[in-house]
A and B are shown apart, each in its own frame.
Chain A
Amino acid sequence: MENPVETIGAASARIARLAAIRVMLCAVAPALTAIALGLFLEPIGELTWTRYGYALAPGRESLLSLGLIGAGFVVMLAGLVMAFRAYRRDHDFLAAAAELDDRLECDQQIVTFATLANPASLDSGRARRTPLFPVLWRRAIALFGGLDVRQEFRLEVGEPLKRSSMLAGVVALAMVLATLGLVRAPTPEDREAAKLRAIAEMIAKTSTDADDAALAGKIREAADALENPKLPPEEKKKRIEDAMREAKHAAEKRNNNEAGKNQAAGKSAAQSGKGNGKSQGQGTSSGTGSGQGKSGTGAGQNAGGNNPGPGKGGSGNNSGKNQGGNASAKNDKNDQNKSNASNIQLQNELAKAEAQVETANAKNPGPDSTPGNEQKQSGANKPGDKTDQNKTGSQLDPNKAGDMPKPGANGNRNIPSAGGGNPKDNRDMGSNMGDTHLGEMPTSTNAQRFLKPGEKGSTVDIKDARYVMFRLPGAAASSGNGGKTVLDSDRPTATTAYVNAPLAPTSDDAPPDERQLVPPRYRDMIH
Chain B
Amino acid sequence: MGAAPQQASPDQRVADFRKIFSRAESEVARVIVGHREIVRKLLTALFCGGHILIEGVPGLGKTLMVKAASETLGLSFKRIQFTPDLMPSDIIGTQVLTESDGHREFQFKPGPIFAHMVLGDEINRATPKTQSAVLEAMEEHQVTVFGNTYVLDPPYIVLATQNPIELEGTYPLPEAQMDRFIFKVVMGSPKPDELREILNRTTGTAQNKIQPLFEPARAAQAIENLKALVREVMVAEPLERYIISVIGGCTPGGPGAIPEVSQYLRFGPSPRGAQALILCAKVNALLAGRVSVSYDDIDDAIVPCLRHRLLLNFQAEAESVTAESILEQVIKRLKKPRT
Binding site for B on A (CB under 8 A): 92, 94-95, 97-99, 102, 107-109, 111-116, 128-136, 138-139
Contact = CB atoms under 8 A, between A and B. Distances in A.
A50 to B, nearest CB: 56
Interface of B: 10-11, 14, 229, 232-239, 288, 290-296, 338-339
Contacts of B296: 107
A135 B14 contact: yes
A112 B236 contact: yes
Given A108-B293, A108-B294, A112-B235, A132 B339 contact: no
Contact of B292 (A94, A98, A102, A113): A113
Nearest to A115: B236
22 contacts: A92-B339, A94-B238, A94-B339, A99-B338, A102-B338, A109-B290, A111-B239, A111-B339, A112-B239, A112-B293, A114-B236, A115-B236, A116-B236, A129-B234, A130-B232, A130-B233, A132-B233, A133-B234, A134-B10, A136-B234, A136-B291, A139-B291
A208 to B, nearest CB: 67
A268 to B, nearest CB: 92
A483 B207 CA distance: 129
Contact of A111 (B10, B14, B238): B238
Contacts of A136: 234, 291-292
Contacts of B295: 107-108
Given A107-B294, A131-B10, A135-B11, A115 B237 contact: yes
B229, B232, B237, B238 pick with most chain A CB within 10 angstroms: B237
Contacts of A132: 10, 14, 229, 232-234, 291
A441 B190 CA distance: 114
Contact of A130 (B234, B290, B294): B234
A95, A112, A115, A130 pick with most chain B CB within 10 angstroms: A112
A368 B5 CA distance: 114
Question: Main secondary structure on chain A at its contact with chain B?
Answer: helix
Nearest to A106: B294
A119 to B, nearest CB: 15
A129 B235 CA distance: 10
Nearest to A124: B237
B10, B11, B229 pick with most chain A CB within 10 angstroms: B10
B234 A98 contact: no
Nearest to B298: A108
A262 B291 CA distance: 105
A135 to B, nearest CB: 5
State the 8 A-B residue pairs at the shortest beta-carbon distance, nearest first: A112-B292, A107-B294, A112-B236, A132-B291, A98-B338, A130-B232, A94-B339, A115-B236
B166 to A, nearest CB: 45
B159 to A, nearest CB: 29
Contacts, number: 72
Nearest to B286: A132
Contacts of B292: 107-109, 112-113, 136
Nearest to B297: A107
Nearest to A118: B237
B321 to A, nearest CB: 32
Nearest to B232: A130
B229, B234, B292, B339 pick with most chain A CB within 10 angstroms: B292
Given A95-B338, A98-B338, A135 B237 contact: no
A132 B293 CA distance: 12
Given A99-B338, A107-B292, A132-B229, 15 more contacts: A94-B339, A95-B339, A98-B238, A98-B339, A102-B338, A107-B294, A107-B295, A108-B239, A131-B232, A132-B233, A132-B234, A134-B10, A135-B11, A136-B292, A138-B11
A98 B237 CA distance: 12
Given A95-B339, A132-B291, A139-B291, A108 B236 contact: yes
B337 to A, nearest CB: 9
Nearest to A130: B232
A98, A129, A130 pick with most chain B CB within 10 angstroms: A130
Nearest to B242: A108
A135 B289 CA distance: 11
Contacts of B229: 132
A95 B229 CA distance: 29
Contacts of A107: 288, 290, 292, 294-296
A133 B294 CA distance: 15
A124 to B, nearest CB: 10
A116 B234 contact: yes
Nearest to B231: A130
A113 B296 CA distance: 17
Contacts of B291: 132-133, 135-136, 139
A8 to B, nearest CB: 12
A56 to B, nearest CB: 52
Nearest to A121: B237
Nearest to B239: A108
A99 B11 CA distance: 26
A129 B239 CA distance: 16
A159 to B, nearest CB: 20
A107 B233 CA distance: 14
Contacts of A111: 236, 238-239, 338-339
A5 to B, nearest CB: 15
Contacts of A108: 236, 238-239, 292-295
A112 B232 CA distance: 13
Contacts of B234: 112, 116, 128-130, 132-133, 136
Nearest to A129: B234
A463 B278 CA distance: 110
A199 to B, nearest CB: 68
Contacts of A133: 234, 291
Nearest to B288: A107
A138 B229 CA distance: 18
B31 to A, nearest CB: 34
A124 B202 CA distance: 57
A114 B295 CA distance: 16
Contacts of B233: 130, 132
A98 B336 CA distance: 11
A456 to B, nearest CB: 103
A518 to B, nearest CB: 83
Contacts of B339: 92, 94-95, 97-98, 111
A110 to B, nearest CB: 9
Nearest to B233: A132
Contacts of B235: 112
A87 B238 CA distance: 22
A130 B236 CA distance: 12
Contacts of A130: 232-234
A130 B234 CA distance: 7
B91 to A, nearest CB: 37
A113 B293 CA distance: 11
Contacts of A115: 236-238
Contacts of A129: 234
Contacts of B10: 131-132, 134-135
A516 B293 CA distance: 101
Contacts of A94: 238, 339
B6 to A, nearest CB: 9
A231 to B, nearest CB: 66
B236, B290, B295, B339 pick with most chain A CB within 10 angstroms: B236
B20 to A, nearest CB: 17
A98 B238 CA distance: 10
B228 to A, nearest CB: 9
